[in-house]
Structure 1
Amino acid sequence: MKRLIMQQLIKWKDSPYRKPLILKGVRQVGKTWLLKEFGRLCYENTAYFNFDENEEYRQFFETTQSVERILQNLMLASGQKILPEKTLIIFDEVQDCPKVINSMKYFCENAPQYHVACAGSLLGIALAKPASFPVGKVNFMQVNPMTFSEFLLANGDGNLSAFLDGVDVIEPLPDAFFNPLCEKLKMYYVTGGMPEPVLMWTEARDAEAMQTALSDIIDAYERDFAKHPSVSEYPKISMIWKSVPSQLARENKKFLYRVVKEGARAREYEDALQWLVDARLVHKVYRSSAPKLPVSAYDDLSAFKIYLSDVGLLRRLSQLAPTAFGEGNRLFTEFKGALSENYALQSLVTQFETAPRYWSRVNPPYEVDFLIQRGNDIFPIEVKAETNVGGKSLRKFKELFAEQVKLRVRLSLENLTLDGDLLNIPLFMADHTDRLIGMAMERLGR
């Protein structure tokens, strides 16, 4: 499989400002494979240490702060060779090893000639704890599920991926590309972007194995819930997780605690929800009162939506069978277009540094699915799962914030067009949103 983040890893290797790397990402998103592949391609050898499989390695970090001594002990214990500049040192499953994480400070300050990368499945949780942490001494990188572009490459559709990469004019795409891309996107909604289900589908077209792989990932996540330090939080985390399909199936997708459990209050469940956010198992999208900077100053912290980290996991958790793939546009429209919204968010978080927000008004009801910050501009994005793309909310948003709105964006099953200040992007081009907005702004002279 080709992961586009590999280019970022190569930049990290070559950077004169390189620090020890912490790779974050949910369980089974492919962090270990990625680091080992990076080591294979870019280094003479790789020294791999798993602190879950070999707990005794942790002791080497507890008795000394000397990098040379730590590495000498690791080499003697494992029989692996470690050379400055030539070896990629991988520390895996470090989420329960604060001493290992803290040692990155000494690697950074005293031994920058060693290339070190750390990974772990619940690192977001570990890093959220107020423990000793090497602030300013590490680089971070987030590994997300495979994008639709990466899925195309894995599926043997490099020609379609190359075509999308080469689009440099905003005009309708030929049917010879448009129609196959819609079908491939349905396929992606079924498999999602977790590497193992993608592999099961792209290599063998084995829907049953793909379903099992997704179920196994969900089971692994649910076992992780028990790792919350407070036993009482475990059932709450589980209930929030299982409520996500119900939350997204509603017309108004604002998160409601009473959907989790009748009579549930925010103060009882907010810690459990934060655990899921820190673990990156869910994305939390706050309601914004206005498209102004800084975006965080206009957040309504009491109103938010939550989405899963992966559209395939959402489909599986929703118990929607893969046979929906063959039922017209059902995958796009199911659950009030929740799969399409989840897919759109997945794509947007990889392109824009600031987390997306959303905007809504209650009476009469208006909602813009996402607001994204690009440079110093904020763009409203509406996701339409059908070809019926009337957009009263986008019109209302422009009416209310005429000075701030330079361009409106709609992701839908319609073709690529720029109609006045409304840019329509086909859903299968969501990974190119940033680039297409830039092209549209240039054409509008803004």
Structure 2
Amino acid sequence: MKRKIYQDLLNWKQHKKGTTALLIEGARRIGKSYIVETFAQNEYESYILIDFSKVSPQVIEFFSLYLDDLNTLFLNLEVYFRTRLYPRPSPDAEARSLIIFDEIQFCPCARATIKHLVKDHRFDYIETGSLISIKENVQDIMLPSEEHSIEMYPMDFEEFLWALGDEMLMPYLKNQLQKQKPTGNFHRKAMDYFRQYLIVGGMPQAVLQYVKTRNFKEVDEIKRDIISLYSNDIRKYAQKQAIKASAIFEEIPGQLQKHEKKFTLASLNKNARSRDYAEAFFWLSDAKIINCCYNATAPNIGLRLNEERSTLKCYMGDTGLLVSMAFDERAIVSEDLYRKLMFGKLEINEGMLIENIVAQMLKSSGHRLYFYSKSSRIDSNDRMEIDFLISKASTTNRHNICPIEVKSGKNYTLTSLKKLMTKYSNYLSTAYVLHDGDLKIDEDGIVYLPLYMTPFL
């Protein structure tokens, strides 16, 4: 399936020309290995893929025995994998052969060799993995400065449309946004697609099954397998944080269904403190299983400088997985429930799913996640709760922050958003409301965007 990250790989190959290795980080089952091998097949004369999750100990030994004799190292790799490697014809030329270090977290010593391999400059190198930066995977090695790191996410909404065979809708929607015009007759079509994306999510296996069958039940079985894989990974690799990380992971749907979506540690343990669970949250975030959204104490430039890490919201990295976690009374989500989700007829509050998918889309578009929350017993004008804050692409002296409110129903108020606009007018750029209606702009300058336009922000 077509993925946008392919262009990033191509840019790296053409512009870096072997001066760095490429490190691709991401959650399990999002298609890292698939896209890298597809890239290797299309863009190189030959490649070797070393999957460190299952490779022979003999191959791992090559990297410790022959680091000072790269000729022998490459010869051994060629013989073992029965693949000829072609050296780069000149220092400024693009490489002819690629060596892929797949699941590199299982072999830190191989990652440590990147410095020497890049300096040798014969071939290109791509590393993939998850849990790359946790202490257990880096404590005994010197991290190579010759790595260029990029993050990979589940399939975004446009990639989902590509998988369904529609490559024209998103450019049309983007054009309508630029002209600030409603989508009109195409709004319902776009919302139908969006709801399918909400249910299926962006895990490539699940999307592929949906493309083949259009059967939500079969898709759900795949998603449950991925959830089980994540649960097992937490128990196996989180070590001292395993119990706490598992508790957080299992609690996510319950936390998000609350009106106040900030994660309440007391639900895990009445004596829990944020400092006790900080490493567990970091582990899940580093594994790309969750997306943490932190409270910014002021909606001004430099949101990270105002970050309050003790107050956070915890979203699932993929909303399709959240759907399968949230509705698991019979282990399989029924077709009837999926139909209700498709047509917005679910009896429960859909806000948890809508807010989660907005967080997912903002994250995959390159935004760090922040919200704004302030309470006051003295002045009601100081009591505000804003779902998300994002920074403009270019920084100016004033008006840098865009507040975002996410609305899942037809009847809602914008009390907090209007309070924020009044109090912090010098800090704020465009204010957005993401809803299931069409594009419009009201007399206060608030831009109402359909949910499917979130990736354009």
- What CA distance in whole angstroms lies between the structure 2 residues aligned with 1:80 and 1:228? 33
Structure 1 residue 361 and structure 2 residue 362: aligned?
Answer: no
Q: In structure 2, what residue type is equivalent to 1:98?
A: P
Residue number in structure 1 paired with 2:106: 96
- What CA distance in whole angstroms lies between the structure 2 residues aligned with 1:149 and 1:396? 34
> What's the Cα RMSD here?
2.0
CA spacing shift, 1:193–1:245, aligned 2, 3 Å: same
Contact 1:102 1:132 in 2 (8 A): yes
- What CA distance in whole angstroms lies between the structure 1 residues aligned with 2:384 and 2:302? 23
Contact 2:174 2:453 in 1 (8 A): no
- What CA distance in whole angstroms lies between the structure 2 residues aligned with 1:209 and 1:70? 45
SS at match of 2:300: coil
Query: Of 226, 235, 238, which residue of structure 2 is paired with 1:226?
Result: 235
Per-residue Cα deviation, 1:150-189 (whole angstroms, up to 9, x for no partner): 11111122332342244331111122x1001111111111
- What CA distance in whole angstroms lies between the structure 2 residues aligned with 1:428 and 1:264? 38
Residue number in structure 1 paired with 2:119: 109
- What CA distance in whole angstroms lies between the structure 2 residues aligned with 1:148 and 1:11? 23
Structure 2 counterparts to residues 272-311 of structure 1, below 5 A: 272-311=280-319
In the TM superposition, what is the alpha-carbon distance from 1:389 to its structure 2 partner? 4.3
Structure 1 residue 348 and structure 2 residue 348: aligned?
Answer: no
- What CA distance in whole angstroms lies between the structure 2 residues aligned with 1:263 and 1:229? 22
Residue number in structure 2 paired with 1:324: 337
Query: Of 76, 80, 84, which residue of structure 2 is paired with 1:81?
Result: 84
- What CA distance in whole angstroms lies between the structure 1 residues aligned with 2:428 and 2:275? 36
Q: In structure 2, what residue type is equivalent to 1:291?
A: P
In the TM superposition, what is the alpha-carbon distance from 1:144 to its structure 2 partner? 0.1
Unpaired stretches in structure 1, ≥5 consecutive residues: 434-446
Q: In structure 1, what residue type is equivalent to 2:24?
A: L
SS at match of 1:226: helix
In the TM superposition, what is the alpha-carbon distance from 1:201 to its structure 2 partner? 0.6
CA spacing shift, 1:171–1:265, aligned 2, 3 Å: same
SS at match of 2:149: strand
In the TM superposition, what is the alpha-carbon distance from 1:390 to its structure 2 partner? 2.6
In the TM superposition, what is the alpha-carbon distance from 1:215 to its structure 2 partner? 0.5
SS at match of 2:165: coil
In the TM superposition, what is the alpha-carbon distance from 1:410 to its structure 2 partner? 1.4
Percent identity of the aligned residues? Answer: 28
Residue number in structure 2 paired with 1:254: 262
- What CA distance in whole angstroms lies between the structure 1 residues aligned with 2:135 and 2:164? 35
Structure 2 counterparts to residues 336-415 of structure 1, below 5 A: 337-352=351-366, 354-363=367-376, 364=380, 365-374=383-392, 375-376=394-395, 377-415=400-438
Contact 2:216 2:338 in 1 (8 A): no
In the TM superposition, what is the alpha-carbon distance from 1:394 to its structure 2 partner? 1.0
Residue number in structure 2 paired with 1:7: 7
In the TM superposition, what is the alpha-carbon distance from 1:148 to its structure 2 partner? 0.9
Q: In structure 2, what residue type is equivalent to 1:59?
A: E
- What CA distance in whole angstroms lies between the structure 2 residues aligned with 1:296 and 1:165? 29
Residue number in structure 1 paired with 2:29: 28
SS at match of 1:424: strand
Q: In structure 2, what residue type is equivalent to 1:140?
A: S
Per-residue Cα deviation, 1:344-396 (whole angstroms, up to 9, x for no partner): 111111223x5121001224552111111122222111111123343111101
CA spacing shift, 1:143–1:229, aligned 2, 3 Å: closer
SS at match of 1:255: coil
CA spacing shift, 1:413–1:46, aligned 2, 3 Å: same
| TM-score, length-scaled by structure 1 | 0.90
Q: In structure 1, what residue type is equivalent to 2:387?
A: D
Q: In structure 1, what residue type is equivalent to 2:257?
A: A
SS at match of 1:3: coil
Query: Of 204, 212, 219, which residue of structure 2 is paired with 1:203?
Result: 212
Per-residue Cα deviation, 1:14-55 (whole angstroms, up to 9, x for no partner): 014641011101000000000011112222222111112213
- What CA distance in whole angstroms lies between the structure 1 residues aligned with 2:336 and 2:105? 38
Query: Of 414, 424, 440, which residue of structure 1 is paired with 2:448?
Result: 424
- What CA distance in whole angstroms lies between the structure 2 residues aligned with 1:137 and 1:33? 24
- What CA distance in whole angstroms lies between the structure 2 residues aligned with 1:135 and 1:87? 21
Structure 1 residue 156 and structure 2 residue 165: aligned?
Answer: yes
Q: In structure 2, what residue type is equivalent to 1:367?
A: E
- What CA distance in whole angstroms lies between the structure 2 residues aligned with 1:229 and 1:428? 35
Per-residue Cα deviation, 1:55-75 (whole angstroms, up to 9, x for no partner): 321111112324433222211
- What CA distance in whole angstroms lies between the structure 2 residues aligned with 1:347 and 1:313? 15
| TM-score, length-scaled by structure 2 | 0.88
- What CA distance in whole angstroms lies between the structure 1 residues aligned with 2:142 and 2:212? 42
SS at match of 2:104: coil
CA spacing shift, 1:118–1:334, aligned 2, 3 Å: farther
Contact 2:24 2:149 in 1 (8 A): yes
- What CA distance in whole angstroms lies between the structure 2 residues aligned with 1:120 and 1:74? 21
Contact 1:416 1:424 in 2 (8 A): yes
Contact 2:47 2:100 in 1 (8 A): yes
Q: In structure 2, what residue type is equivalent to 1:346?
A: Q
Aligned residue pair count: 428
- What CA distance in whole angstroms lies between the structure 1 residues aligned with 2:431 and 2:214? 38
- What CA distance in whole angstroms lies between the structure 1 residues aligned with 2:450 and 2:78? 52
In the TM superposition, what is the alpha-carbon distance from 1:334 to its structure 2 partner? 4.5
